[in-house]
Amino acid sequence: MLLAWALLVGCAVLTGCTTVVGGSGRAVPTGFPPSSAPSSARSGAPGTTTAPGTTTAPSTGSTTTAPSTGRVDFRCPTISYPYAGLRFRCIVARMQRVRHDPIWPLSLGHVVEKRSGWAVSAGAGHYGAQNGRSLRMITRYVRAEMIKAGEYGAAPTVRTVRAGRIRVDHAPAFVLQSTIHLSASFRKKTHTRVRLEKQWIVAVEIAPHDWSLWFVSIPDIARSLWPRVRQDIASIRVR
């Protein structure tokens, strides 16, 4: 996933800003609200444009209070993120926190291609109540926001590999697994060796009717990490 595309304007997502300006110069919604913001700040309406292979969901926002704060540790190999009520392993031990991600309140990355800035990426955030939306709708919507924000370049092709219910740390959960193919024109323009990326988005019920999301995204030039994802999902703990 491309890390260096975003240009911060005005404020950071973690302080409650609902939009940033992307590399194209347009405002990009945060997808779902920053988990460090109070509930009243988590009601902005994201845009409705969809990416290929995705569907549009209603605006996010939650009436559910964010999980209580606790010990925060953003250092790999294990992340403790009480705002999302989750603890999880880093897919790469050397991952560093990425500031100003427009979608994920907590974003981590490890660059695997220096010339393009392409990286293995992971992150998490608190979502809140479903408010009538299915978990399939929520995860597909967040995927669409990531694509729309330019994190996979211009005009990628998206294929859903798996979408279904699982359990994480004995809690109800839902996984959306996707393969995202970069466009030939984008690859030529950026001189990247990356052809496709595999992405997993997992929604976990951290309390009754209260959900948090976790993701990992791995390009084919780091394909040796793909088999680890199943174990990493199984290692997620609800705090």
**CATH assignment of the domain containing 160:** 3.40.1000.10
C-beta separation of 214 from 106 below 8 A = no
Find the domain containing 39 and state its range.
13-238
Query: Is the residue at 150 inside a domain?
Result: yes
* Helix segments in the chain, DSSP class H: 135-148, 184-190, 229-234
Taking 60 as the threshold, does the pLDDT of residue 147 lie above it? yes
pLDDT tens for each residue of 198-211 = 999 999 999 999 99
Domains in the chain, number = 1
- pLDDT higher at 239 or 82: 82
Strands (E) across the chain are located at 19-21, 27-29, 78-81, 86-89, 96-97, 106-113, 118-128, 157-168, 171-181, 196-207, 210-219, 237-238
Closest among 52, 4, 34 to 178, alpha carbons compared: 52
Residue 140 lies in a domain: yes
Residue at 2 is within a domain: no
Query: Does the residue 42 lie in any domain?
Result: yes
The Cα–Cα gap between 136 and 121 comes to 21
Cβ–Cβ < 8 Å for 85, 206: yes
* Residue whose tokens read 């999902």: 233
**154 near 23, Cβ under 8 Å?**
no
Percent of the chain surpassing pLDDT 90: 66
How confident is the model at residue 7, as a pLDDT? 30
Question: What's residue 143's pLDDT?
Answer: 97
- Please check the confidence at residue 48 and state whether its pLDDT lies above 50: no
Q: Is the pLDDT of residue 28 over 80?
A: no
* Of 203 and 74, more confident: 203
Q: What is the CA radius of gyration of the chain?
A: 16
The three-state secondary structure class of 226 is helix
Structure confidence at residue 55 as a pLDDT band (50, 70, 90): very low
Average pLDDT estimate for 122-136: 96
pLDDT over 70, % of the chain:
71
At 2 the pLDDT is 77
- Is the pLDDT at 41 greater than 60? The verdict is no
Q: Which residues contact 132 (CB under 8 A, 6 or more apart)?
A: none
Which of 18-22, 51-55, 166-170 ranks highest by mean pLDDT?
166-170
